[in-house]
Amino acid sequence: MSASTLTASPGANTPGGASILASPEEHAFHRAATDPDYFAWLDHVSSAAGCAHPIRLLGRIDTVDTTTEQILATRSTLPMPDSIIYKACGNRRAAVCPSCSTTYRRDAYQLIRAGLVGGKGVPATVAGHPAVFATLTAPGFGSVHTRRTSKTGQALQCRPRRDEDWCPHGMDLRCDRIHAVSERILGTPLCLDCYDHQHQVVWNFTAGELWRRTRIALERTLRRTAKNRGIDPTTVRVSYGKVAEMQRRGVVHFHAIIRLDGVDPDNRNAIAPVPDGIGLGDLVDAVEDAARHTRYITEPHGRINVAWLIEWGDQLDIRPVRVPGDGTISDEMVAGYLAKYATKSTEASGHVSGRLTHENIDLYADPLGSHIERLIHACWSLGGHIPGLKLGEQADRPFGRLRRWAHMLGFGGHFLTKSRRYSITFRALRERRTTWRREHTDTAAQHDDETTVVISSLNYVGAGWLTPGDALLANTAAALARERQRIGRIETTSQN
């Protein structure tokens, strides 16, 4: 389509020349047909092309010689297409930005897998270390609709009972249905009034502390085992990579890779082989013992004078990661599974929102509403003002931050965490990707990376694409590039 043809199309322009293109497609065709620097613009936005809400930056970038402190080159954003730099938002949530969450998921996969088989700075010897894949769940806070299966995988009835089972509120707690995987009723209580919503949001809020205490108990058990066998207990430690998954009932549970390591007395930061005399069976027993016996009681809430017991649920699954011939899960399966859940949040429960405030809390919280509305109300209520406390004391009290995490149903931790020595960091992976991009540009090759440093003086000017047409063009180009990469990987794999 030529530029003249597009200009003459009905509704394309007003008599005064102002564009009133009616759809993103018309915006995209207009730019592709009339902009002489269209391909330069596509190349300029390629690093953020698939992002749903890219960050727009304005300013300059200086290349400085570290030995002489002289500015070797300066690039301003003004001569660039759109006079700005587009940077991907980097959001890990698939519901917010599918493209950035894909990058995050791939980084998470590399991070988890490197801790299992080595690579990216992790010694390959970790592949021989004992490791388990543990799933730790939350306890029950009331009866909910669930999908049960037998040991053979056959679907079972939700909550069958031979006799009537009525709750104090007059609700029948029986359910003879076999629920489908996609049913929205899954995870909802059989009686909303019987369900302990306050206990659940407090458990979400304190789950990180429960994990910390469990990890300490695990290491103490392993060191005690080593000491009983004549092994120096200071030469044994555990490393882990952990992902939180939000269940449909709105409570998190943890999937963790727990690896047994040795400690080199001369270099305690290094990953050493596991001492002889302690192995996989001891690790499994220690994880189970720590999960079964770690519990604590919170401080009483200042307004309602209630304390809650924080412990793990009865469902505990501990599997060795790699044992030849017994059909256990492989390292690739584990890394892929954890990476998948690292990009999810509260979507499984049916709730997706940003941070809640006094202005919009009434849209999501209701003490007599749905299950999720009651959970959000519990967060907001327990995190509220306590009479008699000063303003500074309000923020320091145990449950003072529950309102901040009401949109996460009380959970305020990171969805993917790891111990320091388990694997490489997200930051290191991003820096390597940035270095690779700079090495493959013409300007980066003009200077020695060992004696130069890039200093960015950029200011935030907004988020999102300037027009719907720009978003369509950029996302389409990114989709085509991803498809070419996918086909290339398939062809490379088939040739090998």
pLDDT band at 395 (very low <50, low <70, confident <90, very high): low
pLDDT at 496: 58
Averaged confidence pLDDT in the chain: 83
pLDDT at 392: 58
pLDDT band at 328 (very low <50, low <70, confident <90, very high): low
Q: What is the pLDDT of residues 160-184, one digit of tens each?
A: 988 888 999 999 899 999 998 888 8
pLDDT at 384: 84
For residues 424 and 444, the model is more confident at 424
Highest mean pLDDT among 74-83, 101-110, 404-413, 468-477 belongs to 404-413
Q: Is the pLDDT of residue 478 over 90?
A: no
pLDDT band at 381 (very low <50, low <70, confident <90, very high): very high
pTM of the model: 0.80
The rounded Cα 299 to chain-centroid distance in angstroms is 29
For residues 131 and 471, the model is more confident at 131
Low-confidence winner among 47-56, 97-106, 455-464, 467-476 (lowest mean pLDDT): 467-476
Q: Is the pLDDT of residue 368 over 60?
A: yes
Q: Residues of 181-208 as b/e, b for ≥16 C-beta within 10 angstroms?
A: eeeeebbbbbbbeebebbbbbbbbbbbb
Percent over 90 (pLDDT), the chain: 36
User: By three-state DSSP, how is residue 232 classified?
Assistant: coil
Question: How confident is the model over 132-149, as a mean pLDDT?
Answer: 92
Q: What is the pLDDT of residues 269-324, one digit of tens each?
A: 888 899 999 999 999 999 999 999 999 999 998 888 899 999 999 999 999 887 44
Helix ranges (H only) for 165-300 are 197-228, 280-293
Q: What is the pLDDT of residues 419-436, one digit of tens each?
A: 999 998 888 888 888 777
Q: What is the pLDDT of residues 10-57, one digit of tens each?
A: 333 433 334 444 566 666 656 665 667 777 878 888 878 788 889 999
- Cβ distance 155 to 198 under 8 Å? no
pLDDT at 138: 95
- Cβ distance 378 to 198 under 8 Å? yes
Q: Is the pLDDT of residue 73 over 70?
A: yes
For residues 350 and 273, the model is more confident at 273
Up-side HSE of residue 262: CA atoms within 13 Å toward CB? 18
Low-confidence winner among 216-230, 235-249, 340-354, 365-379 (lowest mean pLDDT): 340-354
pLDDT at 465: 85
HEC sequence for 283-341: HHHHHHHHHHHCEEECCCCCCCCCCCEEECCCCEEEEECCCCCCCCCCHHHHHHHHHHH
CA 150-152-157 angle, 5° bins: 25
For residues 366 and 268, the model is more confident at 366
Per-domain residue ranges of the chain: 3-94+460-495, 123-141+196-418, 144-189
Question: How confident is the model over 363-378, as a mean pLDDT?
Answer: 93
Percent over 70 (pLDDT), the chain: 85
Q: Is the pLDDT of residue 228 over 60?
A: yes
pLDDT at 1: 36
Residue 89 burial (CB count, 10 A): 17
Amino acid symbol at 386:
I
Q: Is the pLDDT of residue 145 over 80?
A: yes
